Amino acid sequence: MPQMANLTVKKADGTTDAVFTAMTPSAGDKTPAIWRDNNVGDSVALRPEFRAFGMPSPDGARRTFKTNLVYPAVVTDNASGLRKVAGYITQVTETKIFLAADDATVAEAIAQGANLNSTMLMRECAKVGFAPN
């Protein structure tokens, strides 16, 4: 089983790192592991958070793995000068792994799915909220 660790990803500029600090590991099925970018925001409420968890399907034929990123849109209140959350950008993924598939097939499917979602076209689509036409 993978061990909890900090996650480092590139920011939108393609150069700067964003480090999501490991906050708490999963305690088992349906319990998320939680990471937080503690390098931004003045409080927990203003910081991006990433969660991941897994669970078996009801029939036991597959496992489902889900991730959830919640990224606050922070603004400064003109009247008080305080920073507050105006809304959230969220990103959810769901992967269903057929347990009877061999390891190489699972590895290939996971690699291709992750790589497809990280293509420039899919990132542009996600930014505007529309599929390509």
- DSSP states along 46-110: GS-EEEEEEEE-TTSSEEEEEEEEEEEEEEE-TTT--EEEEEEEEEEEEEEEETTS-HHHHHHHH
pLDDT tops 90 at residue 1? no
The vertex-99 CA angle with 98 and 104, nearest 5°, equals 85
Hey, what CATH topology would domain 7-99 get?
MS2 Viral Coat Protein (3.30.380)
The tens digit of pLDDT for each residue in 59-95 reads: 999 999 999 999 999 999 999 999 999 999 999 999 9
pLDDT 10s digits, 13-53: 999 999 999 999 999 999 999 999 999 988 999 999 999 99
pLDDT at residue 108 above 90?
yes
Q: Where are the domains of the chain?
A: 7-99, 101-133
Share of the chain above pLDDT 90, in %: 98
What's the whole-number mean pLDDT along residues 103-129?
A: 96
What does the mean pLDDT of the chain come to? Answer: 96
